[in-house]
Amino acid sequence: MSLPNLGIDALRTLLATQQLGSLNRAAERIGRSQSAVSQQMRKLEEQIGQPLFRRQGRGLVLTESGDLILSYARRILDLHDEAVRAVRGASVAGAVRFGLPGDFAETWLPAALGQFKKTHPAVRVEIAVERNGILLERLDRGELDLVLVMGYQNRPDAEPVATLQMSWIGPIGIDVSTSPDTPLDLALYNSPCFFRRAGMEALDKANISWRLAYTTASLQSLWAGVAAGLGITLRTAAGVPPSLRRLDGKHGLPPLPTVELCLHTAQLDVPPALAQLKRVVLENALANLTS
């Protein structure tokens, strides 16, 4: 008895249905009618010989068999898409100069860039890790083609990626508390820095006294100063070292605003190599920062 050939389109529809919780929303995402999507799922169930969904309230949830097929579907689709991109990417050549802040340089971005290099071997990628404002200055001078930065969403070239919550960051194993008698020690970037400004404004609004105990121009130096207990800082949760922790309301610290993460491109007419790198960065940012 020969095994059935499961269709890539059907597996993609299964994934969309699970993510969105309904056949109707899945149909909208993939650009098909609801009846066509329902037929796809019925055929997939016939091929598997097991029901894939069950009703829960007004939505759909996967059965045990559906969960099993979904786990394979993700792997199949990842390999399928990688193969297509590798074939297409082999014909794309050129050079792309990409800049990003240190917050992302050691977390999910290396894997994304490795994935891009694997599928686009003829594209030379040059990476610059700098502070947000410096990256945009280099973009404006024509030294970079694409940058991923936080806090400059009002620029006309900004393409929103994600909204990130600022957090107070402190050392593990060292008590942090606010006291009306003792200023709170802060470890911050040198000015200008919108994280620095946001932290000072939040503390002033909450009538919490503070003092600048440690300043630096390097993110790694900032993390080291906080880990040593020289002061607390504020960033997003992205890239926080394991020696540090996010501080919550129990420490008496005021709430902080959000910050926008955006892509900025130097060229209006985006060449293929730049367009492909931009797509990979965006997909990985959405997968890692909004999950």
pLDDT above 50: residue 91: no
pLDDT above 80: residue 65: yes
Question: Which region, left, alpha or beta, applies to residue 31 given φ > 0 means left and ψ of -120 to 50 means alpha?
Answer: left
Q: What pLDDT score was predicted for residue 259? A: 92
Domains observed in the chain: 8-86 (1.10.10.10), 94-152+265-289 (3.40.190.10), 167-256 (3.40.190.10)
Longest CA pairwise span in the chain (Å): 80
Three-point CA angle 222, 226, 229, nearest 5°: 145
Q: What pLDDT score was predicted for residue 93? A: 57
Token pair belonging to 84: 């297509």
Contact at 8 Å (CB) between 160 and 130? no
Q: What is the pLDDT of residues 122-154, one digit of tens each?
A: 888 888 999 999 999 999 999 999 999 998 999
Mean predicted confidence (pLDDT) in 247-271: 84
Q: Give the closest residue to 62 by CA, choosing from 102, 22, 28, 90.
A: 22
Q: What pLDDT score was predicted for residue 90? A: 47
Q: Distance of alpha carbon 161 from its chain centroid, rounded?
A: 8
Question: Which region, left, alpha or beta, applies to residue 212 given φ > 0 means left and ψ of -120 to 50 means alpha?
Answer: beta
Local confidence band at 119 (pLDDT 50, 70, 90 cut-offs) = confident
Q: What pLDDT score was predicted for residue 84? A: 64
Distances (CA, A) of 237 to 106, 241, 244: 13, 9, 10
| Sheet containing strand 158-165, strands side by side | 123-129, 94-100, 146-150, 258-265, 158-165
Mean predicted confidence (pLDDT) in 47-60: 82
Pick from 33-37, 134-138, 209-213, 243-247: least confident? 33-37
Token pair belonging to 82: 């990688």
Nearest-angstrom CA–CA distance, 216 and 231? 12
Three-point CA angle 191, 170, 231, nearest 5°: 50
pLDDT above 80: residue 81: no
Q: What pLDDT score was predicted for residue 290? A: 61
Local confidence band at 233 (pLDDT 50, 70, 90 cut-offs) = very high
Contact at 8 Å (CB) between 93 and 273? yes
